[in-house]
Structures are given as structure tokens and as C-alpha cells.
Amino acid sequence: MLNELTLATATNADISQNPALRAEDFPVVINDLTVAYRDKAVLQDVDVVIPKGQLCAIIGPNGAGKSTLIKAVLNLIPSAAGTVRIFGKPYVHQRRLVGYVPQRTSVDWDFPTTALDVVMMGAYGRLGWVKRPGKHERELAMHCLAQLGMADYADRQISQLSGGQQQRVFLARALVQDAELYLMDEPFVGVDALTEKAIIALLQALRARGKTVVCVHHDLDSAPDYFDWLVLLNVRLIAAGPFSSTFTSDNLHKTYGGSMKSAIRHIQHFEDEHRKLSTAN
Amino acid sequence: MSIFTELFTDYTLRNVALGSALLGVVSGVLGCFAVLRRQGLIGDALAHAALPGICIAYLLTGAKTPLVLMLGAAVSGWIGVWALLRLVQHTRIKEDAALGIVLSAFFGFGILLLTFISRRNDANQAGLDKYLFGQAATLTTGDVEAMAVLGMIALVLVAVFFKELKILAFDSEFAASLGFNTHAINLLLTTLIVVAIVIGLRTVGVVLMAAMLIGPAVAARQWTNKLSVMCALAALFGALAGVSGALISISESRLPTGPMVILSMTVIAAFSVFFAPARGLVWEWVQLARHRAQLRRGLAAGK
């Protein structure tokens, strides 16, 4: 019988060799992934295993390849080497199991459309070519907007939404995809406190339903409160694993280099708290 | 006034009006997607790149058959866009520079061919230079029929693939993650833009054709926040500009049609930019003045 610890600490080699570890329990298995733009490696030999039901943060400095990692998993950019498996199979066979939240700033919010219309785009994948969204898609989209507290804004032109509301529209669109694995690129960047709360509530609800969420994340302060799995990245993989055992000052040193003193302070604070908690238990 | 009664009786006038309306509708609708994708200037490269194609098609066949010249225009326009996209993708040249290179290289070659043809003392060549600035007065029923067939095909394809074109224009990476072949949708869009430009070449000409893609879309965006309405309005504005420009050009001493159409379009676009509710500049100024007055009153009351 497998316990949670075996799942949580499984490596690439374990998954391919140990027949007791089932591919369905691993939403993301990345093997030796290398991505290059022209002659520059953006990601190099990255190995990552993310077990099911985790809220996982991808953390690293600017230019560490965090967004690139997500895009490579989604097959949006070609990889020079390595493989990515989504629940045991290549992404192209598993699209319906994956929801995607791109960076909010990646689109033109002055596009002539409404919040509801954007959210309905989450159903386009299931609809396939030519078929138009109908009553069912409209109701589903309304339901997902409501889940993010945005029901009143359904008919609002998207340029009239605040940054946080735009982010919630993007999250609602991913919910419409009804996926098992959600990949989110910086969902917390530039949002108001209300939106931040709504996103956290959503992430926890998704986890409670056994879904897996992978977020590119910037804020070292909030990360320990939100996530339970961590991938530290700086072109190469620095460390990956359960949050508390991976979020160490040593690992952050390696990720950000020695210069990032403030990062280190955060960690020491976190480690102190962690120690206090463990001793109290 | 007489021109409007003649519109329904005069053979030339009817062709001109129908042809320019068609060109306006098709370029208006496709221009919406081009502009929203921030690819308005691709139309410019494409239109200029069509000129050598027209000349080569004429040199090869020795005749000015409308469909053959249209085909020549489409093929070389396509090659122009292809060269442009390749340059951006495979070199470090930025898009605006690549556009400048492709546009002027193809257009220069086209002018060279045009000069070469005009020096051959070949009576048949007269009128080929009308493709530079357009001449609606020479439209025949055959031209209009060819334009109508091509235009209908383009509009039907837009209607069928509306959802795909919309998601490509709004968020192409998300579309790709859903499994849509964004290269195929992009190819479709570019091909349809080629069709729109080819339809307009005879009337507006290669130099100004891109404005007929951009103008109606910019004007229509001012009046609505819905893509489908924007497409319909752009079609209407395009047709309006096309017909009025063409009629002005043939009623007054045969001015070139292209500039007249574009000037009409500019009037519509300028009016929209200033006076459209909510997005119009005048509206914004009024709002700003109102806020200022309110603030001043508030400050005065505070004292």
C-alpha cells in the first residue's frame, strides 16, 4: 500500500520503475526538459514531479523560466529536449484535463467583448471547430463567474473591469474548462485584496475536490500560506517537493543567488515559525 | 440629385456603386479582425506586394482579364506576407522594419514592371497603371460579378469560423492550449484579407487599399463593445465610404477613385473618433470638464 509520503517524494525514476505508482496520480511529470530561444537556454534539464491534489507554486527570479515551464507543459512552445507527461500521457492527448490561466497582461482588454463572453471561451475546447456556444455554455459560464463573485459583471465590457476583476474573469474561464489540472501564470499579480481572497478560496475549493493547481508565483511572503508543494526554478531546477521541507534558506540562496537578502529574511522568519509550530506539536 | 436617379438606370453607375459597396463590406468585416490582431499594416504590405503580381499576370497572358489579374495580385500579395512573416520569425529584424523592407521592395519591383510594360508600345496595356490609385469608372459587370462571388465566399467563411477568429484575435495562446490549430486559423484570416484586398484593388488601388481595412474597423469600434456588431458596422461604414467616394470620383472629371474613397472613410472615422458616445473624444472632454466642475464645487463647499 502506498502512503502519502511515497507519493509526495516519488521521483521520475520511481514512477517509471515502480509499478505500484500509477500515472493517474501524477498530473505533471517533467523529464529532462530543455527549452531554448535561439542559442540561449531558458530551461535546462528540468525534472519535476507534481503529485495529485497539491497546490503547487513555481518560484524563481525574473528570467528563471517559470512561465516558459508552464508554456512548455502546454505545448505552446517547442522544447529542445525532454518529455512532459500529463497523467501519464503527452499533453495533446490530455487537453480536456488541463485548464490554463495565462498572465492577465498577455491580452488586450480593450477587445470588444463582455466578461461572460470571455468566460464562455473556456468551453470552446469541448465545442471544437465551428460549433457555437449555446444555452448550456452560457449557464455554465454564469455559474463559474458567480463562483468568483463576478455574477453582477457578466455583461460588463471587459475594459471596464478592474485588474482584479479581469483576473477573476480569467479564473472563471479556466473553471469552465472543468479540468483536473490547472496551470496559472501569476494569478496574484496586481490584484486587490478582495480578489486575492477569492482566488485563495477558489484554490482551496479546487484542492478539496482533488484537483491539482500549479501557479507561477512571485511573492515569497504569501507563498507559505497558500501552497503545499514547491518548485524552485532558475533555468535549472533548484529544488522541488513538499513546501515546508523545500522552502529553506539554503534552497532560496541557490535560487536567487546570494544577493537577495530580503528573500532570505522571509525564509528565516518562516523557518522560525515552522520550528515553533513543530515544537508546540 | 441626378446622380441618384441615374444610379438605378445608368449601367456604369450601377456597376461602380455595387463594386465599391462590395469592397467596403468585405474589407470592413475582415479589417476588424486584422485591426484587433494588431495586424492592420500587414494589409498594407499585402496590397503593395500585389502590384508586381498584376504586372506579371498581364505579361504572361497579354490580356487584362480581371480574374487573371486578381489571381496574380493574390499570389504575389501572399508571397509578400509570407516573406514578411519569415523575416520576423527567422531574423532579428523587427516587424515594422520587415514591413518596410517587404512593402517597398515589392512595390518598387511593381513600378519597374509597370514602366517596362508602358514602354513596350503595346496598345492593350493602357489602364494597367489605374491599379495604383484605382478607377471605379472602368468596372464592368464581369468585374462586379467576380468581386461578388469572392466576397460572398469570404463573408460566409467569416460567419462559419467566427468563434475561431474571435478567440485567435483575443487570446491566441489560450486558443492553442485548447487544441485549436492557430496556424490554420491565422492562415485562413490572412487568406481572407488577401481576398478583401484583391476585391478592392480595381476600385481603390494598391497604394491606399490598406486604409479600407483599417478605417472602417477603427470607426466601428467607437460605437460598440460587441465584436459581431463591430463587424456589421464596419461593413456598413466601408460600403458607405466606398459608394460615396466612387460616385464623387466619377461625377467630377474622373478623379482617381482610391483617394476619394479614402477621404470619405476618413470623414466617417474622424467623426466616430470625436463624437461616438462613451469612447468619443468629445464625450471624454465633457466628462472631464464635468468632473473638474464637481471637484471645484466640492472644494468650495469644503471651505
| Contact in structure between A48 and A34 (CB atoms under 8 Å) | no
What is residue A269's predicted lDDT score, i.e. its pLDDT? Answer: 67
Chain B residues with CB-CB distance to A75 below 8 A: 176-177
Phi, psi angle pair for B226, to nearest 5°: -125, 130
Look up residue A132 and give its DSSP letter: P
pLDDT at A94: 93
Q: How many Å apart are CA B109 and CA A94, to the nearest integer?
A: 50
Closest alpha carbon to B171 in A216, A74, A192, A6: A74
Would an 8 Å CB–CB cutoff place B170 in contact with chain A? yes
pLDDT value of residue A247: 92
pLDDT for A206: 95
Residue A230 · residue A63 · CB < 8 Å: no
E strand segments, B97-253: none
CA distance B166 to chain A (A): 10
Chain B CA closest to residue A132: B163
Ramachandran angles phi, psi of A90, nearest 5°: -60, 155
Q: How far apart are CA A280 and CA B114, in angstroms?
A: 89
Closest chain B residue to A77 measured between Cα atoms? Answer: B173
User: Helix, strand, coil shares of chain B as percentages rounded to 5?
Assistant: 85, 0, 15
Cβ–Cβ below 8 Å for A124 and B161: no
Residues from chain B that touch A98, judged by Cβ atoms under 8 A, are 177
Question: Which chain A positions have a beta carbon within 8 Å of B175's beta carbon?
Answer: 124
Q: Write out the three cell numbers for A128.
A: 471544437
Given a cut of 70, the residues of chain B with pLDDT beneath it are 1-9, 121-126, 252-253, 303
Mean pLDDT in order along chain A per 10 residues (281 residues): 55 68 86 89 93 94 92 94 92 94 95 96 94 94 94 94 96 96 95 92 94 92 91 93 91 79 62 66 51
pLDDT of residue A276: 67
Residue in A with minimal Cα distance to B222: A112
Strand ranges inside chain A, DSSP E: 28-37, 40-50, 55-59, 81-86, 98-101, 181-185, 212-216, 229-234, 236-242
Instruction: Decide if B170 and A124 are in contact by the 8 Å CB cutoff.
Output: no
Query: CA–CA separation, A152 vs A134, rounded Å?
Result: 20
Residues in chain A within 8 Å Cβ distance of B230: 112
pLDDT for res B14: 86
Cell of B292: 473638474
Enclosing H/E stretch for B300? helix B281-302
Of the candidates B1, B122, B106, the residue with the CA atom closest to the CA atom of residue B54: B106
Q: What is the b/e burial string over A103-115, where b = at least 16 CB atoms within 10 angstroms of the residue's CB? A: bbeebebebbbbb
**Closest Cα in chain B to A121:** B167
pLDDT of residue A114: 96
- pLDDT tens by residue, B155-182: 999 999 999 999 999 999 999 999 999 9
